[in-house]
Amino acid sequence: MKEFLLPDPGEGLVEAEIVAWHVAEGDHVKVNDVVLEVETSKSIVELPIPWTGTVARILVAAGQTVPVGTPIVVIDDGAQPEQEDDKPEPLLVGYGAAPSSGRHRRSRARSSTKGNGAANAHQAVADAYGQSAPSRRPDDVHEPHRVQAEPHGDPLPTPGDPARGTDLVLSGVPDPTLAKPPVRKLAKQLGVDLDTVVGTGPQGSITRADVEAAAALAALGAMGSAPRVEERSSTGERRIPIKGVRKVTAEAMIASTSTHVHVTEWVTIDITATMEMVERLRARREFANLRVSPLLLYAKACCLAMANTPEINASWDEDNQEIVLHGDVNLGIAAATPRGLMVPNIKGAQQMNLLELCRAINALVQVSKEGKLQPADYGGGTFTITNVGVFGVESGTPIINGNESAILCMGSIDRKPWVVGEGADERVEPRWVTTISISFDHRLIDGEQGSRFLREVADLLQDPELAMLY
């Protein structure tokens, strides 16, 4: 038997929520088969299994949050454990009498998040993926792994009493309650404790009907304990736990405002030529089945302008007291996803032509909407574009993302009266007008550099043909 421990998918996690299992007990799995999805603070991540075998037991049900390093599923790989002749395995504390076969189920205690918890978790993850710890000796490879388990449940029977059962319960690892995420959400909304509900679905799983019936019984006072109900004040006040994306966003904003020296500038421009170019691109065969929006030309204009103002695509290295000018533009696009505000980025955006950039933006938006962004999608960004215009807002003063040096804000694009022509030809016409703004870190970007970059982006949006000069 092999225990698969919850790994850190690459965010420096402490814990994660089990979203859904793709396998059931008894299913056969192969190396690299995706067996479950976990929800981290930023994304939904699919986890593959590192062994071939049969799913013997699922230890953690969907909907539960557990620390990194926690055993979540047991895989029977068919291997027979080596045992020394005439030397029975010692009993583990709290496990009761030995089975008649002389073998014992071996389990690993849940990793603690205190003290040496981080080290234990990293070692557990390494073991799960077949990575040996540096201190392990060659002759320890086949030695059974034993832990000191905490007593759980009723006291052990006295000598001579019949054993009350052979099932083993790990202290700190609850028995899984089988219920799908939508059912758990409904239970939370109705204030139903799933631990008190008897499931009538497949393998004893809890269904929507079970939850609704439990809620009805609770309303009639037939249940032994009152359901957990969200507390509200007399004024209708509600309290929402700060966790997940909201918690990460709050921490990032605090870090940004406490380290960056924010300066914001803006300019209002006529982008009728950009809007006309968007319409022409939509009609072209190359862009068929792609969503072409003004964001595409904003992104291209930023990449072109950075060639003349590399300080915009930079970061501040406090430890080494250096300004890092990045070679690639990893262009972040702030997106409102079902899980909250996320900023995935397009790697090497400055090397892409307009069609490649359009495909990259479309793919990024699609994955964001599906809530399937991975850590690699939003790591390593160097510059961000955010769009408040989609909400009908004319402009804003955005907060710089992460360790980047600047962020561009797109405002709403509206038909407004605008003075065109010069001299005797001067007249007022309805034009597509917008305001763009930029926030930059004044520690490494002077006002002259920030202003020149913003003006160059504005010029490219007013007259996209200028891109031919780059």
Q: In this structure, what token pair is assigned to residue 333?
A: 């696009």
The full length of the chain comes to 470
Residues 284, 355 contacting (CB under 8 angstroms): no
* Active-site residue, 262 included: no
Residue of 22, 122, 262, 442 marked catalytic: 442
Q: How far is CA 452 from CA 382, 464, 470, in A?
A: 19, 17, 16
Residues 91, 159 contacting (CB under 8 angstroms): no
Q: How far is CA 223 from CA 184, 219, 226, 255, 288, in A?
A: 19, 9, 7, 48, 59
Residues 102, 89 contacting (CB under 8 angstroms): yes
**Cα–Cα distance between 426 and 214 in angstroms, integer?**
74
Residues 265, 450 contacting (CB under 8 angstroms): yes
User: Which residue, chain included where needed, has tokens 């590192």?
Assistant: 50
Residues 176, 58 contacting (CB under 8 angstroms): yes
**Cα–Cα distance between 295 and 219 in angstroms, integer?**
52
Q: CB neighbours of 212 closer than 8 A, spacing ≥ 6?
A: 186, 190
Strands 53-58 and 71-76: antiparallel
Q: What are phi and psi of 83, to 5 degrees?
A: -130, 145
DSSP β-bridge partners for residue 333 = 385
Q: CB neighbours of 358 closer than 8 A, spacing ≥ 6?
A: 281, 287, 290, 292, 296
Residues 329, 345 contacting (CB under 8 angstroms): no
DSSP character at residue 445: S
**Cα–Cα distance between 248 and 244 in angstroms, integer?**
6
Please list the active-site residues.
442
